[in-house]
Amino acid sequence: MKPTSLILLTNGFPYEQGEQFLETEILHLSKSFEKVFIYTTSTKGEKRDLPNNVEVKEFKWGSTFSVKKLVFRRSGLIMKLFLKEFWSPKRKKHYKGNYKFHFNNLLGIINDAEKFQNELGKHELTNAKIYSYWFGPWGDIMCMVNVISNKKYPFISRVHGYDYDVDQRKEGFIPFRDFQMKYIHQISAVSEYGYNRIGKEYPAFKNISVSRLGVTDNGDNPMNENELFHIVSCSSFIPLKGVHLIIEILKRLTFTVKWTHFGDGPLRDRIYSLAQELPENIDVNFKGFVANDVIIEFYKKEPIDLFMNVSELEGIPVSIMEAISFGIPSTGCKICGVPEIVTAQSGFLFEKEFEINDAVAQIVIYQKLTKSDKFKFREEVKTFWKKKFDADVNYPTFISENLQ
């Protein structure tokens, strides 16, 4: 029997600014289930529009609790995890020096799991599916729920980048990950890179597949009819996004360029200051943070020659998916899952630690192409997107293969 309801676990959606990619997926989920319950950890900000059969509930992580009472009623579980994680020859080195923080975090996960188990008890789960959009912290909680309930609640979790890739963790490891891998039922990686990475680190875990994200077809970006070369980027102003490298590239372009950037962040003042050093042939337009639909409308109307991404760490960027869906070529670096979306058919792939002059050379070659060749290339970009990242293909496939 197919499940009639879905419990979707998010970190803020449909509130806050993040998880924009769920705006498309929720439309497909709502068509496949009679009822969708979203458990979000925040209700700050404006609520996005949702289908009528989607109900939102807030679940707060980290509520206060009595440590003494929790340790008393869960002493066996705590001791088991203590030996497996904090005393394991393979794992204990990671906790050294920060033991108290991680132990308190463990107690907090147990407390949240008890609370959420009670919340799940309110649903008729014999015909429901539980789907976490992230492996952590929701994955932590659900795995702990399954420990407490003796694996009563099998669930599937997507994994993106930060929630499985230790290279994206400053600590160099993921707390309690061995424990999680024992109690999660199913994993869906958004990239081949994630699939292979988890497979290498946990070869005994077999219930894993690749299910790519996707975006909707909103038409084609209009071709540029003048000499102005329009470059667009979209990211937060944080170190790993490398926006300063885009400025370094722009400094060495001698033709007329308009650079539009969507996004904001803690490095804004530094980026704005660096942009002041750009030569006169570079026109800069910082848009700040805007809603996703504003970006989509911009792509529909404004001719764009190139979308630039030079991040040093990524999963598979949805920002690139959106750009190539309009036929806009994109750049990216040879990191994580980026080579799966930035290929010879969709743009220009830079080395992980690329030389600025090498990136400039690739852009100059593209800029000098004839209008006819550029048009053919943009058609290839659109074809590539449709084959790999079309939401109307990827999400129904994900639902039918993993949730029903």
Residue 126: per-residue pLDDT: 67
* pLDDT number for residue 52: 96
Q: Please report, in angstroms and rounded to a whole number, the separation of the first and last CA atoms in the chain.
A: 8
Give the pLDDT of residue 89. 78
Fold match between domain 5-214+393-402 and domain 229-388: yes
- pLDDT for 96: 79
Residue 215, C-beta contacts closer than 8 angstroms, at least 6 positions apart: 21, 24, 318, 321, 322, 325, 389, 390, 391
Q: Is 345:380 a contact under the CB 8 Å cutoff?
A: yes
Name the E strands within 194-320: 208-210, 229-234, 257-262, 282-288, 306-307
* pLDDT computed for residue 1 by the predictor: 64
Q: Which residue ranges make up each domain of the chain? A: 5-214+393-402, 229-388
pLDDT of residue 10: 95
CATH class of 5-214+393-402: alpha beta
Q: In what order do the strands lie in the sheet with 54-58?
A: 54-58, 35-40, 5-10, 128-132, 155-159, 186-189, 208-210
The answer to whether 131 and 399 are in contact (CB under 8 A) is no
Q: How far apart are CA 279 and CA 250, in angstroms?
A: 9
Residue 209, phi then psi, degrees to nearest 5: -145, 170
How far apart (Å, rounded) are the C-alpha atoms in residues 190 and 183?
A: 20
**Verdict on whether the full-model pTM lies above 0.85:** yes
Could you give the CA distance from residue 129 to residue 126 in angstroms, rounded to a whole number?
Answer: 9
How much is the pLDDT for 172?
A: 73
State residue 327's pLDDT score. 98
CA-to-CA distance for 198 and 140, rounded, in angstroms?
17
- Mean pLDDT, 10 residues at a time, over the chain (404 residues)? 87 85 93 94 89 94 88 89 79 80 90 92 79 91 90 89 76 81 93 93 93 96 90 94 96 97 95 96 95 93 97 88 98 95 97 95 96 96 98 96 91
Quick one: pLDDT at residue 194?
Answer: 92
Architecture of the domain whose range is 229-388:
3-Layer(aba) Sandwich (3.40)
